[in-house]
Structure 1
Amino acid sequence: MPISKIYHEKQTRQLCALHALNNLFQGHQPYTKAELDEICCNLSPNVWINPHRSVLGLGNYDVNVIMTALQLRSCEAVWFDKRKDPSCINLDVIVGFILNIPSDYKLGIITLPLRKRHWIAVRRIEERYYNLDSKLSLPECIGNEADVLQFLREQLMTNERELFLVLENSGRGQEEEGSTQRWLRDSHVRHKTTNGT
């Protein structure tokens, strides 16, 4: 698919979480800032300063907002333990990935010595995986399955980055055996069961 046909919201204000969600779902039933703000209020009602977004209400949403927003679209986010290698991920059941990465504060062309967090989405579109970071001018083609696993491996080489796997909600209870591990390749599930860990 030509990159120009891929849905790609660009960065505005501190709304990277909103852009990551909309880019992940390719603009289908897009989320709005008002919807994410409502989630913030529902998560922490009756507070003067909401802990799930920036003090001024300009965005900068935390992972709780993203996880709740995904549930509204019958999906769930699973935190990936970076001690594992991404090769254990069953890519066939993954809707996409959301990464939380460090980002610099900039005032014009001046970079300030402060760090903030930035959300980006990665997903397969047709046969290729794309980095849909809202700070990119265009989506960036990562490549095939081997390429995306290497991309994730490189992203997780520092402790400053977190990876969340986005899956369609199975509709099964969390207590049902295997429901929380369905993103693991079968060989890794068997190995885990055999070792009793």
Structure 2
Amino acid sequence: MESPSARTLGNSPGDDSGNGNGNGNGNGSGNGNTTMMPHGIYHERQTRHLCGLHALNNLFQGLDMFSKSELDDYCTTLTPRNWLNPHRSWIGWGNYDVNVIMYALQQRNCEAMWFDRRRDPRCLNLSAIFGFILNVPAQMSLGYYIPLPFQMRHWLALRRLNGSYYNLDSKLREPKCLGNEEQFLEFLATQLQMDHELFLVLEVETDCKDKCRQRWLLPQFRD
């Protein structure tokens, strides 16, 4: 059951008729369960294997949203073939790879930087980072009860909103508050100790100098 404090704005699972932002202008995005929490945080819930789509829309908080058809178009832009396209699931359920995520971010004047998990996240200049995307292992199952002997990968977004950091994972019923900067860095350190990949999302600065290119690092950690 949805949290009684959450107002449903978007579509039910598998319904591709709306745009998930509550304005009634259906565009076929199929973004699944969409809620706006009382504190104004936008959150899309998981449908099919569209975690990459949900992570992007949760990252940008529902503004200028991506759609499934848009990400599918990016797949064919990157590799011009529809059948067995290497950037998505062959059955058309999503499961987009990192190339699609990075290309999508570029369309919103952002870039993704892979963070070396051997580094301490306390080197990060959090004020210069728009948001974060984590890629984590996901156990596959038949239905909800029978685990399958292989794993896939799951995308989720992290972002600072209303003065606190939030886990906007589409598998959560609602966004999870991770706390202040110190608590968030502890969370990142824990994630990096596991088989999790962290990407930093930065807004592109066209007149960026050499020092600016390392703006995601605190000054004492830059080359």
The alignment's TM-score, normalised by the length of structure 1, stands at 0.90
Q: Name the aligned partner's letter for residue 145 of structure 1.
A: E
Q: How does 1:116-131 map to 2 (within 5 A)?
A: 116-131=152-167
Equivalent-residue separation in structure 1 for 2:116 and 2:71 (angstroms): 26
How many angstroms does 1:110 deviate by?
Answer: 2.2
Residue in 1 that maps onto 2:13: none
Q: Name the aligned partner's letter for residue 96 of structure 1.
A: G
How many angstroms does 1:112 deviate by?
Answer: 2.1
- Per-residue CA deviation, residues 10-63 of structure 1 (Å, 9 max, x unaligned), is 000000000000000100011000110000000001463110001112100000
- Fraction of identical pairs, as percent: 56
Equivalent-residue separation in structure 1 for 2:124 and 2:114 (angstroms): 12
Q: Secondary structure at the match of 1:35?
A: helix
* Mapped contact 2:55–2:156 kept (Cα < 8 A): yes
Unaligned runs of 5+ in 2: 1-5, 7-36
How many angstroms does 1:109 deviate by?
Answer: 2.1
Equivalent-residue separation in structure 2 for 1:62 and 1:181 (angstroms): 25
Q: How does 1:170-185 map to 2 (within 5 A)?
A: 170-172=205-207, 176-185=209-218
Equivalent-residue separation in structure 2 for 1:172 and 1:63 (angstroms): 26
The alignment's TM-score, normalised by the length of structure 2, stands at 0.80
**Structure of greater relative contact order (alpha carbons < 8 Å, 6+ residues apart):** 1
Residue in 1 that maps onto 2:106: 71
Which of 175, 178, 182 aligns to 1:146? It is: 182
Equivalent-residue separation in structure 1 for 2:134 and 2:97 (angstroms): 12
How many angstroms does 1:180 deviate by?
Answer: 3.1
How many angstroms does 1:120 deviate by?
Answer: 0.4
Residue in 2 that maps onto 1:187: 220
Q: How does 1:27-176 map to 2 (within 5 A)?
A: 27-46=62-81, 48-107=83-142, 108-158=144-194, 160-172=195-207, 176=209
* Mapped contact 2:45–2:172 kept (Cα < 8 A): yes
